[in-house]
């Protein structure tokens, strides 16, 4: 029972990457608006950086899985 609460609390850690990717999206849209010629490079960089931030959110999910399955 307590492990379910623990897993639920661990899943709250996905808020962090959500905010991070939101900030990334806003700033990269800003940068493309200021400099439309660099749109290709900014788009490529933004996709890779979003993947990094996503990975950290996944670490939170893995902690929740560990709480549920390690007895």
Partner 1 sequence: MTSAPGTTPETNQTDSSASDGGLPEPEAKTRARGIPFRFLIPAVIGLDILAVLLVPPFPAGGSPGQACGYPACWITSVIEFPPPAVVVDLQPATAPASTPMLYFHPSISSTILTMWIVMVLLLLMAFVATRRMKVVPGGLQNAVEWAYEFGRDFAVGIGGEAAKRYYPVFAGFFLFILFSNWSGLVPPIGKIEQLRAPTSDVNITIGLALTSFVLFEGEGFRRLGVRGYLGKFFPLGEFRQGIGAGLLAMYVGIIELFLEFVKPVTLSMRLFGNIYGGEVALAVISALTLAVIPVALYGLEALLNLIQALIFSVLTLMFILIAIEGHASEEHAAEGVAGTTARLEPVSAGNQEAAAA
Q: Look up residue 71 and give its DSSP letter.
A: -
- The one among 19, 22, 41, 43 contacting partner 1 by CB under 8 A: 41
46 within 8 A of 25, measured Cβ to Cβ: yes
Give me the count of residues in the chain: 71
25 binds partner 1 (CB under 8 A): no
Backbone angles phi, psi at 40, to 5 degrees: -60, -45
Give the DSSP H or E segment for 41.
Answer: helix 39-69
Contacting range for partner 1; rule: CB under 8 A; set: 1-9, 19-27, 28-36, 55-63: 55-63
52 binds partner 1 (CB under 8 A): yes
Interacting residues with partner 1 (CB under 8 A): 41, 44-45, 47-48, 50-52, 54-56, 58-59, 61-62, 65-66, 69-71
């Amino acid at each position: 029972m307590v492990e379910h609460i623990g897993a639920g609390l661990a899943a709250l850690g996905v808020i962090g990457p959500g905010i991070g990717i939101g900030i990334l999206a806003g700033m990269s849209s800003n940068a493309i608006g200021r400099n439309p010629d660099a749109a290709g490079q900014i788009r490529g960089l933004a996709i890779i950086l979003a993947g990094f931030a996503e990975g950290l959110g996944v670490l939170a999910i893995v902690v929740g899985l560990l709480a549920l399955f390690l007895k």
